[in-house]
Structure 1
Amino acid sequence: MQRTHDIIEISQLIQAWGHCRDQGRWDDLAAIFTEDGTISVTWFSGPFRDFVDASRRMHQPRGPRVKHLIGQPVVQLNGTRALAETNVQILGRFDIAGTPVDYTSYARFLDRLELGAGGWQIRHREAVYEKDRLDPVVPGADFTRFMAETDFSDLPEPFRYLGYRLLSAGRALHPGILSDGAPEAEAALAGAQDWLAGSA
């Protein structure tokens, strides 16, 4: 029974992250991670408290805002430690060549969680990117021409269009972004498993 309770609490916590992040509920968002928690995504790698501050600065009080669709996590438990892998879709909208465009990024969150006096919290999150795409809201010649003429090859395929969107907005990509199937992503998963077992 306790195992089921823990998995439900962890699942709700991971869902709450997306809801609080997208809706600008900053105090609730900060409480999801441990005080010394860290996060690594395309545009940020470092202390979670700094991630919350950066997210607050770029938050749009009205849409269209970025939306995180978060799946049901696969949870492994070991005492007061847990490891969760969760599928996520990151949805956003921006303009290309005068055309509103929707981007969809498919990724997984790899979370290390700890149980404290107040319940479960995330200690460390790494995002592993799988693939992404761009779709014009209304197809037209300008978007087709832009896609034919633009060279995206400097950006890794798993986060190519998300990366372009961030760079075009003046935001840097951190150098350690994880791509699905890459040795670095496999090493991150192995390291998380070691941590779960208590050997790291």
Structure 2
Amino acid sequence: MKFEDRMQENLSLALAERDIQALVAKFAYRDQEKWDQLADTFWPDATLDISWFSGTIGEFLAESRKLATSGKMLLKHLIGNPRVQISHDRALSETDLVIMLRVTIGDPAIPVDVTSWARFFDRHECRNGQWRISQRTAIYEKDRADPVAAGTAVRWTLAPQAMNGVPHEYRHLASAMMELGRKQMPPAIVNGSAEQMRLEQDAERWLAETVGTLRPSISV
């Protein structure tokens, strides 16, 4: 390959990685309730699988709006720097994430801070020259719940059996969402599980389906 062609390829990869990193960062629009901007980061047929939701981006936006207008919680996502792999018009990214949720729960009711450590595992596609997210899966690592007022205790109103089958990696997050009236989904993917391995293997096969050799990401 000529030097000029190599330089052009490296530039194209760097620009693609920049665009993908920007897409992942824009999930912060969720916390700001900027729904149109959030929708624009996903393809219309994109899907999401997280602790409390599994479905299309349109359905996710509708359910997120309901939670936001309920006034029952405050939500903040701290989004890390994505690690990106690119092959032609497809890409994968994995991003460290901290989910911070404040809810009022229990009997007697008290404000509680729930903190969840997780990762976003995303598929991206470039269609007509534009990158967007086509699939998002959350991988959960650990979480905790802390009363805002020191010296008080968190007393969930959920029956103990309501949490049957919920992995300990996101048990507090799931409890908080169920206290808010959300239906618990089938177990989400947790770190180090066989489900995580299958997710990654399927994604690598999907990425390798593009024409040519798998190209690693480059730093920009």
TM-score w.r.t. length of structure 2? 0.81
Correspondence for 1:3: 13
TM-score w.r.t. length of structure 1? 0.89
In structure 2, C-alpha distance between the alignment counterparts of 1:123 and 1:13, rounded to whole Å: 11
List runs of 5+ in structure 2 lacking aligned partners: 1-10, 211-220
Q: In the alignment, residue 9 of structure 1 is paired with which amino acid? A: D
In structure 2, C-alpha distance between the alignment counterparts of 1:41 and 1:61, rounded to whole Å: 20
Aligned mate of 1:28, from 37, 45, 54: 37
Distance 1:117 1:166, change over 3 A: same
In terms of mean alpha carbon deviation, does 185-194 or 53-62 score higher? Answer: 53-62
Correspondence for 2:195: 184
User: Quick check: 1:132 aligned with 2:115?
Assistant: no
Aligned mate of 2:206, from 171, 195, 199: 195
Aligned mate of 2:92, from 80, 83, 87: 83
**Count of aligned pairs between the two proteins:** 194
Deviations 1:107-131 (A, max 9, x none): 1111000012252100000001110
Distance 1:29 1:118, change over 3 A: farther
Percent identical across equivalent pairs? 37
TM-aligned CA deviation for residue 26 of structure 1: 1.1
Runs (4+) off by over 6 Å: none
Q: Which has the higher contact order (CA 8 A, sep 6+)?
A: 2
Of structures 1 and 2, the larger Rg is shown by 2
In structure 1, C-alpha distance between the alignment counterparts of 2:92 and 2:40, rounded to whole Å: 18
CA RMSD of aligned residues (A): 2.1
List runs of 5+ in structure 1 lacking aligned partners: none
> Contact (CA 8 Å) 2:52, 2:185: kept in 1 or not?
yes
In structure 2, C-alpha distance between the alignment counterparts of 1:58 and 1:179, rounded to whole Å: 24
Q: In the alignment, residue 128 of structure 2 is paired with which amino acid? A: A
User: Quick check: 1:166 aligned with 2:172?
Assistant: no
In structure 1, C-alpha distance between the alignment counterparts of 2:176 and 2:167, rounded to whole Å: 13
